[in-house]
């Protein structure tokens, strides 16, 4: 496989993709977040362990964004809202 004109192995491609950082995981309090999302939340003063649900966390993020806009935090907010929507929508 080639990336940027360089031949790489499957293992190198997996490392390049850094999928583990973006993989959504169940956290101790039952909230689903990726490592990337946790890092963004921590940088912006949110301790996800203090919240009982994703909806509660999303509500607090949106309140924060109404006062002080942040691109990365807005992205995380949209990702959480989308996950809630697809998890809770009856199919």
Q: What is the pTM of this model?
A: 0.78
Domain ranges of the chain: 2-88
Determine the number of helices (DSSP H) and then strands (DSSP E) in the chain.
5, 4
List, for residues 1-51, the tens digit of each pLDDT value: 666 777 878 777 667 666 677 788 999 888 999 999 999 999 999 999 999
The Cβ of residue 58 has, within 10 Å, a number of other Cβ atoms equal to: 19
Q: What's the rounded Cα separation, in Å, for the pair 76 and 84?
A: 12
Helix (H) or strand (E) holding 6: strand 6-7
């Amino acid at each position: 496989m080639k990336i940027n004109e360089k031949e790489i192995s499957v293992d190198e491609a997996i490392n390049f993709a850094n999928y583990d950082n973006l993989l959504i995981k169940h956290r101790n309090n039952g909230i689903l977040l990726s490592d990337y999302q946790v890092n963004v939340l921590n940088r912006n003063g949110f301790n996800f362990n203090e919240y009982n649900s994703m909806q509660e966390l999303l509500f607090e993020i949106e309140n924060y964004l109404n006062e002080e806009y942040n691109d990365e935090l807005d992205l995380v907010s949209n990702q959480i809202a989308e996950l809630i929507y697809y998890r809770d929508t009856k199919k």
